[in-house]
Structure 1
């Protein structure tokens, strides 16, 4: 804060969706990238020199997302390196994101206990008592010349739609919007703060200028509604969608600083003293970007140097070889027709579950599949998330409905051009919500109307699949819980759960085989009945 007589400017810095990126490292190539908490740390320290009593908040998805984060959870004893870094940077508060739950409550609670700052989440409560599950829903800070600042934390309540039930056992996820409305009113009445900040691990469901729906309004993202309906909030920190946002919505200053340490959110709030109280006179939101010219902070690099070196050595292990071609040259082409890499992923799922039907998605657009030599780095580049497998009992109608949902990924453009549906590109890229199947034969005709695009659906033997036929289908836990708007899976009988991470299953499969054979049975394809070209 900078004081000029009766005027003060409060500075708030925010990170979100760091996803375990401490070093500015591309774990596929080892090249330096303009991201990572170490580069963000340089900007934080510079801002702190100018504003010694600034507020620093992390908005969730901190401890998961890189091979370093995976290695830390699997092999490192003691404090998670991301928590060590945040402690060193003197964060004031953090909010749990949905990926904080990926490793289970024991890991999350350990991270919270090791933090020198509180974790805030008003909407996640103990199911038995109704009390906030992680201690505090909000925090009061005294800043500058007696300014009372309230920081309210809240997390998207959509987590049960994605996460393993045993990872969130005993927790209740209350509606984030309603939680903010209730707690904001409570804070205003009881605490009478001069500034109310909401840190929300969730994103914008509507266009910020027009208010038109930018996605299907499921409740996963509610930031626009929070700005519009939650009275009395001044600043909203958002995340989850990995967007770069610095704006104002309905009089609320908002930021969203991308992912992986792409940017640091900065909000300045100006005050003037009137009648013994501080009154807000202006707000300004901006993003400070982590350019290559910004040096990484040596203290943060040193804190994580040991585990970074161990992670790189771990990733460089050769675990097997490929006979044939299992590369992914173009993710778009990969989704048009059956290909060896996705056939391999489904093959591992089928063998692990002991069933005959499987679906899987290309999880990472940056993955190039497998070259002649397979390292653990190749596996973990593809399997970004610690997903496990679930086998559901589905009907033929469920499978048809799921394929229609998958077909919504494409649209037929001008002159029969096959294009990606813009809804899967913005406000957040959702390529991982397109599934490819093994164990059935099918065609998707994108020239047909949505909901009628499954032009062929057969067993591998060529018999038509009828609505009441039953199949046991293996998929990852995110999809089995209905993630990606696959509503047809919700409530379906669970035949079995395989609680080993998919990355581990794939690595173990490759090590066991030694050499994996590239193959493809060409059981599916996407067409536009008038013909198509790739765009």
Structure 2
């Protein structure tokens, strides 16, 4: 057999980097085992070792760290350093994720315009033309001997349920399955693609091993359907759920997912062979995940972004105020079982900014450190990592009770009465941000009772809340849109909006106060 009758191709995929370039934690600048600049070292090595290498990023790249926020919102005059790094890596394609839209289309268009690589998404459409917004939704790679690989990009279609309408004005989000059913055959029949790779910023609505549903079937994740309903997908690169999936096969499709924050690099190795009629086919495929902790950050790329990093660090070190009393989060579970001063403070800031008497917010993850005696921007961004703004909704007392019942589902109870996190909030990815804590009302959660009937003693101004009464409630825009399956909030009247980013709002409040006291009024309780 002649050499050109077989071809070896390697695909390297990243996903859900969320702004983590440097291998550090911004809350304290301690070193970490993850970061894109670590993966860049392995990408460069692989390109030197192998002849045919494709590098793909699967979205949620440009949001998630203070570094990403600073260069999205505060320094818009220079080229975006994360895009610049991807240009240096020689990225072959980028699939926008849901968090790319957090900063609006002006930001997206700027980042897209600075990219030396195509942005691919077959189901993000222009409302005006009904065509893919980012232009051609696929890329064809022609290999020696004439073999063709088609790469199709897809983005979770659930974005309108989370994102502020202004940020996605003029866009339509088609079903990824519908888009794939259109474009996969097109790639084969019209472009002559021998191999089909789909890079999908989305995950799986079913357990990939058992096929059992693992979440509500909303369309947020449709990876299982893609594998079973769209014929001809050889490799499916996935993300969004922050899982590590190392070469599982669903039907005839090889599936990978490389975690998040640059902790892993997915490597897919393909062997293509030409048959007796001259047609190419996939003879073999396998995949593995390479851990970033085994790599060193690329020193040339570190030097390239050092000035941008220095600017970010200077901004983070800006002092804001002093705190009297204990506002550090020592035990994150305890902070969700007993009202923590940090949560009360954020709720009070939301209420003051919006002139609403009721507020809800979350302790977004288990990394939030709380506030120490001296607060800087570093602590603000560590505790509030999302670019949220606020909306005030007009809700009925019945809506409030329904929302509290839904938030109470975050907890589960063991046989001995110990309160734990409901496993559905931990898998396929942690969703601590979907447990809300409220201010301006009094309520009790009894975890020993069945989900849907856990709320006791719900009161407003010391009186039982009127189911038919109307109340103005402030919350972040993600929650106000029904994000986290808070369906009772969808399409409710928006009384007013506060369009200032919460990070800026918190910083402004703390600066104005100069001194804040750690207090919690204990207006809610959780027990079993």
**Shorter-chain TM-score range:** over 0.9
CA contact (8 A) 1:84 1:303 kept: no
Corresponding residue SS for 1:71: helix
Distance 1:443 1:470 in 2: 21
Consecutive aligned runs of 4 or more in structure 1 exceeding 3 Å deviation: none
Structure 2 spans left out of the alignment, 5+ residues: none
Give 1:371's aligned residue: 372
Give 2:45's aligned residue: 46
Shift of residue 300 of structure 1? 1.4
Matched, 1:96 2:96: yes
CA contact (8 A) 2:407 2:434 kept: yes
Give 1:193's aligned residue: 193
Shift of residue 76 of structure 1? 4.4
Give 1:409's aligned residue: 410
Shift of residue 79 of structure 1? 1.5
What root-mean-square deviation, in Å, do the aligned CA atoms of Structure 1 and Structure 2 show?
1.1
Matched, 1:140 2:103: no
Distance 1:409 1:468 in 2: 26
Shift of residue 360 of structure 1? 0.2
Give 1:431's aligned residue: 432
Distance 2:385 2:310 in 1: 20
Give 2:467's aligned residue: 467
Distance 2:409 2:170 in 1: 36
* CA offset digits 1:111-161 (Å, max 9, x no partner): 111111110000011112101111111111112332201110010010011
Distance 1:139 1:339 in 2: 50
Distance 2:242 2:401 in 1: 31
Distance 1:43 1:517 in 2: 48
CA contact (8 A) 2:188 2:194 kept: no
* CA offset digits 1:159-201 (Å, max 9, x no partner): 0111110000010111112111221122222112111110100
Corresponding residue SS for 1:335: helix
Distance 1:28 1:127 in 2: 41
Give the aligned length: 524
Shift of residue 499 of structure 1? 0.8
Shift of residue 299 of structure 1? 2.1
Normalising by structure 2, report the TM-score.
0.98
Distance 1:333 1:408 in 2: 16
CA contact (8 A) 1:197 1:236 kept: yes
Corresponding residue SS for 1:380: helix
Question: How do residues 103-118 of structure 1 correspond to structure 2 at under 5 angstroms?
Answer: 103-118=103-118
Distance 1:452 1:212 in 2: 26
Corresponding residue SS for 2:290: strand
Corresponding residue SS for 1:397: helix
Q: Which moved more, 1:80-89 or 1:295-304?
A: 295-304
Normalising by structure 1, report the TM-score.
0.96
Distance 2:146 2:12 in 1: 20
Give 1:532's aligned residue: none
* CA offset digits 1:280-310 (Å, max 9, x no partner): 111101111101x421112211221101011
Distance 2:398 2:180 in 1: 39
Distance 2:316 2:510 in 1: 15
Distance 1:181 1:447 in 2: 46
Give 1:165's aligned residue: 165
Matched, 1:215 2:215: yes
Shift of residue 25 of structure 1? 1.1
Corresponding residue SS for 1:415: coil
